[in-house]
Structure formats: structure tokens, C-alpha cells
Amino acid sequence: MAALREPTPGPEAAPRPLVAADDAAPRRSLFWRRFRRDRLAMAGLGMLTLLYLMAIFAPVISGHVDPNKLNLLDALQGPSAAHIMGTDEYGRDIWARIVYGARISLSVGLISVSIALTIGIAIGSLAGYFGGFVDALLMRFTDAVLAFPILFILITVVAVVGPSLFNIFAVIGLTAWPGIARLVRGQFLSLRERDFVESARAAGARPWRVIFRHILPNAVAPVIVAATLGVAGAMLFEAALDFLGVGLQPPTATWGTILNAGQGYVLAGDWWFTFFPGLFLVLAILSINAIGDGLQEAFNPRALRR
Amino acid sequence: MQRYLVKRLVGAVPLLFFITVISFAIIHLAPGGPAEIYLGTSANPESVAQINHALGLDQPIYLQYVKWMFALLHGNFGTSFTTGQPVIQDILQALPVTLYLVGSAFILGWLIGIAVGVAEALKPYTRLDYLLTVVSFVLISIPVFYLGLLLILFFTVYLGWLPSIGMVTQGAPFSFLDLARHMVMPVAALTAVEVGFRARFVRASMLEALSEDFIRTARAKGLTGTVVVYKHALRNALLPLVTLFGLALPALFGGSVLIENVFSLPGIGRLQVSAVFARDYPTVMAVNTIAAVLVVVGNLLADLMYGWVDPRIRYS
């Protein structure tokens, strides 16, 4: 397979002097070969795919069990053939709740990170491209947000604006961008003095064109890595808010709300109530971190593992 | 040096101003004030207005902020809506718990992280390295509150060895052993995550340092392995890590909030969560402000430390 993807300098060699992407094709194929060799990253990718499939086909996977169906006679049952991961305090099937909960727990990362990417790239690009006063102002702002213990502000904001799905996605996204902004700015600082940017500017390209067409495409790799790890971070924050009770409210099933409910039954010895939802949270975060690591190494093989 | 310190402290002022304005605005502009929480949703509008008037919440928000700031500059965080006590009392009671948790996890996390990272870097790509790498990888992927719950399930419920609630046994005379038995699991959970992060950084940094020319020179001139590793390589490897001191703090405080709630420890994280539920504005503002100040101070200390470990840095 890899041999078929070897770079072919055919149509790519057409004269497009202002775009510095002439070596993109070989880099991409090399990238995939490196990524596929990374067993940890591939395992992560496989695991995450399974988790997403589980969320998408939740009705089938849960065996058409309603995650919100109360059955007080079956409350707090340990794992058995009927309930492979036991039942909660209302007799609801924990496996079904985990499967349906995956839908929320797995979307929060994607949506929040999309928000964070948009803001982070915008602020980082502006600061890095224009420099000077704009840069100083924007980076002051970025550092202020970065310096804040995010969980404190998340708790405050979510409790105040109300724990709806939309609010939680938005609030996590609105606080997760500073890292990306700093990264993008750094890339811009090192790229904006390069010859191909200079020549684009000399040819009369407007700032937004230079930013989007010439600089950003070259800054993609580290941003993708940061965004991937950001997905895990957002998922963690969402679960933490749910766990503290300020996030999504029962009876909504998310991995965090199940953990929140289960916490009260830990000392009673009902281990399945917390063990299983947390396990899925760990699996998801572990997979994403492995993928992020693999991406980083594949993009930049000389960089050592952090 | 002194000029640098002054400059940094002055530079932190707009930052803290910004953070307090944002927190204040978010809290006060949202619907559903403390009166609604106390009286329930069916409360009649007159009683709500009465309470709001008594708490000063019927004034324009900028005026409320100015008053709050004015009081703060006189060292007054206001009166808690829930306890009726000065907020500073609650804070002073809760802060040591959090500082103790964060401080222990910070120090232990670095010490163990350095040890693990160096062990990995000295024998890279061996079985030991892979094992430790995977372990740190798992540690950074475990939510700290889940790790706390797992520890309780194992050490409290299954083995019955350790208590899982509070700082000390209620009603029992204080003993250091009792305190230690209560704190070992919370500190361990918080430390474990730290170790994962630190070990990964130390390993990478150490590998890089070990491949430098001056290491080869040191070995070539006949220095023993230990001297080369600890005096030449480790020192240089730790330099870039000092900048992480400050960056790690917000996450550690966040972890402390979660751990305090898992183990029912009376720190500022738990104070924050209960205050938020009760819409206890003065307490929420105080906790947010204190948390921000702690992070700013931590960053400043980290920068000063950087100059201390790397004499090439000059403050200006």
C-alpha cells in the first residue's frame, strides 16, 4: 500500500510559485507511514473508533434497553447476565447508560475543540501576523485566561448560566483556546519572515490571504496535535463538571453524571456503579492521548516524546 | 532584580483586575440570584426584592463592583450570604487544606517525576523504559477524581485500611498519624497525575541533554557516569522544566477541587462548589480572586527560580 502512495511530482510541478506547498504530497505519505508504524497510536485510533461506533449505534449496542427505564426492584444489583455492568440506585441498566452517555461524552470534545480552534487560530494569527501593539494586547489577554485555574471559572460560569448541553459545550470551548492561540502565534512569528511569505506580500497579497493561504497551511501540524489533545482535555472537564454536580443534570446519562450518582454508593461497596463509567472515560482519554502522541511523532519524528 | 520584581508585581495588577471584572460580571449578570435560591422559585416578588435590597444586589452592577473592590483593597472580602460570617474566615480555614494538598502533590510529583524520567532516559528503549512510559501515559489519562474513587474502593472498601472522609477522625484527639492516614489517598491521587506529566517531560529533556556534546566531552575526559549524569546532564535537563512550574499550577488547583470533593476535604475547592450552588456571591468572588492570586504568585516564583537555576538569565 505504502509503495502506491509514493510521491509523484506530476501535476504538482505546475507553476504555482507563490504557494509553498510543493512538498506537501511526499510529506503526507511519509506521515501516514510513520503514523501507522506507531502501535500505541493505532491501538488508540482503533479503540476510539469502537467507542464512536458504540455511541452511534447505542440502541443496538445496549440491546434496546432504555437507559432511563426505572426498575426499583432491581436497584443496585451487581454485574450479572441480565445487567452486565450492574444497575444503579433506580435499577437502571448501567451498561445502557454508559452506551448512551458516550454520545454526550464523545461529542463534547469535538464541539468544544472546534470552538476553541476557531478562537485560538483567530487570535493567534492576528497577534503573530501583525505583531507590535496588537500582539502585546492579545497575548496579555491570552496569558490572563491561561493563568486562571480554569476549573474554578468553569464551575462558576456553568452554575450561573445553567447546565444545559449547549452552555457546557460553549463554556468549555470558550476557555480552551489560549494554548492554541499561543501555539499559532509562535508558528506565525517563525513563518512570517520566511521567503515565501515575503514574496506573497511583495506580489500584493492582502493580509488575510497571506494568513490563510500561505502561513496557516504551514502551521497545521502542531495545531492538529494540540487540538487532538484538547479533545481529551474538554472531555475531562465535562466529566469533572458532571461529577461535581454542576454540569449536566440527572437523569441525563453521561459518564460524569453516572460517576456523580455512583460516588454516593462507593462506601456501600457498589463498585460497579463507579468503576465502569470511569473505565470508559479512561479508555477514551487514553486513546485520544495515544493518537495525539502518534500524530506528533509522525509530523515531527525528531521531536522526542514529551 | 528588585526592579524586575516590582515590574512583575505591577504587571500582575491589570491581570487580576481583568479576572475579577470577568468573574463579577458573569456572576451578577446571570438570572437567578441568591434570593431565588433561598426562597425557592415560588417566592413572591416582594420578598425577593427585599432580600436583594438587603444584600445590595439592587444597585447598578458597576457600583456593586466598585464597592466590592473598595472593600477588597481594605482587606475585606465581604460577608458570606450563607453563613453571615466574614468570607475571609471561611477562606482562611479552607486555604491551608488546599495549599497542603497542592503543595504536597507539587513537590512529590516533581521528585518522583524526575526520578522516573531519569530512570527512563538512562536506559531508553529498554523494557523498563517502555513499562514506565506506559505507566505515566496511563496516569495522565486517568481523571484524578476517578483515581480517587478507585483508591477508596480498594483501600477503604475492599481492604478497610484507610479512612476516606475528611482530614481527621471526628471527635478523636488529634494525632499526626490520624491526619496522615486521612491524607495519604488524596495526596497520592493528585500526585499520581503530576508524576505522569513530569516524567514525560523529564525523560524527553534528559534524553536531549544526554545527547549534547558537552556530555561526550565530560565522558571523554574520564568523569564517572554518576557525575556526568547528575552534574552535567540532569542540571541542564531540568532547566527548561522550571518554566513548567508556573504553568502546572492552574491544573493542580483544578485537581484539588475535584479531590476535595471526592474525599470531603474542607478546602477552597469544596467551598467554591457549595458557594456556587447557594449563589453566595462574596464567597465565589473571594475564591476566584484568591485562586488567581495564587497562580500569579506561583508564576512569579517560577520565573525567579528560573533565574536562580540558570545564571545566564538576567532580569530587567
What's the pLDDT band for A14 if we cut at 50, 70, 90? very low
Say yes or no: A150 contacts chain B, CB-CB below 8 A.
yes
Q: Where are the domains of chain B?
A: 89-266
Q: How many CA atoms lie within 13 A of A14 on its CB side?
A: 2
Q: What is the C-alpha separation between A113 and A191, in angstroms, rounded?
A: 24
Closest CA to B145 of B270, B298, B292: B270
**Pick from A16-25, A268-277, B131-140: least confident:** A16-25
Confidence of residue A145 (pLDDT cuts 50, 70, 90): confident
* Residue with more model confidence, B165 or B302: B165
Contact B26 A282 (CB under 8 A): no
Whether B302 and B242 have beta carbons less than 8 Å apart is answered as yes
Confidence check: pLDDT of A27 > 80 = no
Phi, psi (deg, nearest 5) at residue B167: -90, -35
Residue-level pLDDT at B187? 95
Contact B292 A243 (CB under 8 A): no
The verdict on A156 touching B (C-beta cutoff 8 Å) is: yes
pTM of the model: 0.85
Q: Which residue in chain A has the smallest CA separation from B283?
A: A156
Say yes or no for a CB contact (<8 Å) between A149 and B204: no
Answer yes or no: are the C-beta atoms of A300 and A38 closer than 8 Å: no
Does CATH number 1.20.58.1610 belong to domain B89-266? no
Q: Answer whether A304 sits within 8 Å of B208, measured CB to CB.
A: yes
Which chain B residue is nearest to residue A171, measuring alpha carbons? B26
Residue A113 banded pLDDT, cuts 50, 70, 90: very high
CB atoms closer than 10 angstroms to residue B242 = 18
On average, the pLDDT of chain A sits at 82
- How confident is the model over B105-112, as a mean pLDDT? 92
In this prediction, residue A45 carries a pLDDT of: 93
Q: What is the CA radius of gyration of chain B?
A: 24
Residue B87 has pLDDT above 50, yes or no: yes
- Judge whether B273 is closer than 8 Å to chain A, CB to CB: yes
Gap between the Cα atoms of B298 and B102, Å rounded: 12
What ipTM was assigned to the predicted interfaces of this complex?
0.85
**A26-58+87-305: what CATH class?**
mainly alpha
With CA atoms as reference, the chain A residue closest to B165 would be A267
How confident is the model at residue B96, as a pLDDT?
92
Is residue B141 less than 8 Å (CB to CB) from chain A? yes
Q: Can you tell me the mean pLDDT for A253-266? A: 90
- Residue in chain A closest to B16 (alpha carbons) equals A144
Flag the least confident range among A101-105, B11-15, B145-149, B207-211: B11-15
Domain range annotation of chain A: 26-58+87-305
Q: What's the pLDDT band for B173 if we cut at 50, 70, 90?
A: confident
Q: Report which of residues B108 and A84 the model is more confident about.
A: B108
- The shortest C-alpha distance from A39 to chain B (Å) reads 12
Contacts of A76 (CB under 8 A, 6+ apart): A86, A87, A88, A89, A91, A265, A268, A270, A273
A167-226 pLDDT per residue, tens = 899 999 988 898 899 889 988 888 888 888 888 888 888 888 888 888 888 888 888 888
Rounded to an integer, the average pLDDT of B172-193 is 89
**Per-residue confidence band for A282, with pLDDT thresholds at 50, 70 and 90:** very high
Question: Which residues in chain B are contacts of A236 at CB distance < 8 A?
Answer: 143
